[in-house]
Amino acid sequence: MQDDGKNVDILDFQENLLNWYEQTKRELPWRKNQDPYRVWVSEIMLQQTKVDTVIPYFNQFMEWFPTPEALAYADEEKVMKAWEGLGYYSRVRNLQTAVKEVVEQYGGKVPSEKKDFSSLKGVGPYTAGAVLSIAYEKPEPAVDGNVMRVFSRIFNITDDIGKAKTRKRFEAFLPEFLEGVRPSEFNQAVMELGALVCTPKSPGCLLCPVQEYCKARKQGIQEELPVKEKKKAPAAKDMAAVVLKNKEGKLLIHQRGEKGLLAKLWEFPNVEVPAKQSRPDVLSEFLTKEYGMNVEIGQPIQKVQHVFSHLIWNITVFDAWISENTELNDDAKWILLEEADEYAFPVSHQKILETQKEREAAD
DNA sequence: AACACGTGGTG
DNA sequence: TCACCAAGTGT
């Protein structure tokens, strides 16, 4: 399709879209002003995450870390806690790393040059375009899922939006749409249209300010676009976890490693249980190897399922007791249940925590 | 290029 | 119910 951007009266398209945006746009915490730090934080939080989910996290985050300096110097534990439950935790770890660089290399001012800002950890092509346009009014495209959905339909583009090459195709024709408008308004307007009208299912074409330019709408194929290859189903794993209590009534928790799944979050000790093996056996062997503890595993007390995008944990939680304390490694500690609020846990382990609190209350 | 990386909402 | 979706990036 060589006619991207043609067949459309761009001036009229811009006017219709921007007028609609002016009337319809939501009041959102990160739209209060154009502070590049606030815009940046919001864009990181909004990656693969709904606006409604982000709002409370954003407000809390800005209270705790109102400036790049505040975040750069903040206790990492507290930063993780601020992100607890939001998912994709590498986003915050990268954000804090990036903000430290902003403080050290740029005097705490978020760089407005594309090459500088793009080089920061966690800042990809979308985030760079979004922050530079929204905070600094740079005419940069910000191509996210909304933008690809809207323009796939406008131009009847059938390329798979999961491919990197497809994103570049959108970036190639969008600058023409950014001429003569405030980039901040235009980019947000397209995303707002995608979020509120040009939705994945049942798009509200009759309410669309640019329906007259939509090729997909004309052909009645708006529901078939954009084209996106479906992913394979996540694999299930059988897991066993322990709520291990010592003589003082403290619980054993463990911090996950720096990299990979749920990095740096805290959890109850757990292992994957290979097929056909007994869960208590695997668990007690794991605790002996990891901490040198001989532990009597009690009854299963809870089942918890943790669904990720690419994997599923089916966790069986066991009771266990230990009479004497042993030497723990640096990633593990004994805590009172009331102290758990200070640590960031994955959702599945928040559920385990909840159940423990209920059991304690019942005693 | 393909896959790892979370979670909660929805039709 | 369950597959799919949401303002993506790093490797």
pLDDT digits (tens, 9 = 90+) for A275-284: 899 999 999 9
CB atoms within 10 A of CB A38: 22
Binning pLDDT at 50, 70 and 90, where does residue A208 land?
very high
Residue A162: CB less than 7 A from any atom in strand C: no
CB atoms within 10 A of CB A65: 22
Q: What is the model's pLDDT at position A6?
A: 58
Q: Are A222 and A261 in contact (CB under 8 A)?
A: no
Active site residues of A: 43
φ and ψ of A191, to 5 deg:
-65, -40
Per-residue pLDDT, averaged over A82-87, amounts to 98
Closest alpha carbon to C1' of B8, residue? A53
Q: Are A161 and A133 in contact (CB under 8 A)?
A: no
How many alpha carbons fall within 13 Å on the CB side of residue A361?
7
- The verdict on domain A10-224 having CATH code 1.10.340.30 is yes
pLDDT of residue A45 exceeding 60, the answer is: yes
Q: What is the model's pLDDT at position A4?
A: 54
pLDDT of residue A23 exceeding 90, the answer is: yes
Residue A117: CB less than 7 A from any atom in strand C: no
Short-list A237, A242, A285, CA closest to A261: A237
Nucleotide nearest A201, from its CA to each C1' = B11
Q: What is the model's pLDDT at position A305?
A: 96
Residue A42: CB less than 7 A from any atom in strand C: yes
Per-residue pLDDT, averaged over A56-70, amounts to 98
pLDDT of residue A49 exceeding 60, the answer is: yes
pLDDT tens-digit readout, A106-165: 999 999 999 999 999 999 999 999 999 999 999 999 999 999 999 999 999 999 999 999
Least confident of A5-14, A87-96, A231-240, A251-260: A5-14
Task: Please state whether A156 falls in left (phi above 0), alpha (psi between -120 and 50) or beta.
Answer: left
Binning pLDDT at 50, 70 and 90, where does residue A1 land?
very low
CA of A169 to C1' of B7 (A): 30
CA of A84 to C1' of B8 (A): 13
**Tokens for A85?**
């439950």
Least confident of A101-115, A212-226, A293-307, A321-335: A321-335
φ and ψ of A220, to 5 deg:
70, 25
Name which CATH class applies to A235-362. alpha beta
pLDDT of residue A175 exceeding 80, the answer is: yes
Which bases of strand C sit closer than 7 A to a protein CB? 3-10
Least confident of A80-89, A230-239, A247-256, A313-322: A230-239
pLDDT of residue A47 exceeding 50, the answer is: yes
Q: What is the model's pLDDT at position A2?
A: 39
Q: What is the pTM (predicted TM-score) of this model? A: 0.96
Q: Are A215 and A4 in contact (CB under 8 A)?
A: no
What are the domain boundaries of chain A? Answer: 10-224, 235-362
> Count H helices, E strands: chain A?
14, 7
C-alpha distances in Å from residue A177, one per residue of A4, A70, A105, A165? 11, 37, 34, 20
> Do you find a cis peptide bond into A226, omega within 30 degrees of 0?
yes
pLDDT of residue A72 exceeding 70, the answer is: yes
Which bases of strand B sit closer than 7 A to a protein CB? 1-9, 11
Task: Please state whether A5 falls in left (phi above 0), alpha (psi between -120 and 50) or beta.
Answer: left
In terms of DSSP bridges, do strands A296-307 and A332-335 run parallel, antiparallel, or are they unpaired? unpaired
Same CATH topology for A10-224 and A235-362: the answer is: no
Q: How far apart are CA A113 and CA A117, in angstroms?
A: 6
Q: What is the model's pLDDT at position A363?
A: 77
Residue A314: CB less than 7 A from any atom in strand C: no
- Indicate the average pLDDT of chain A: 95
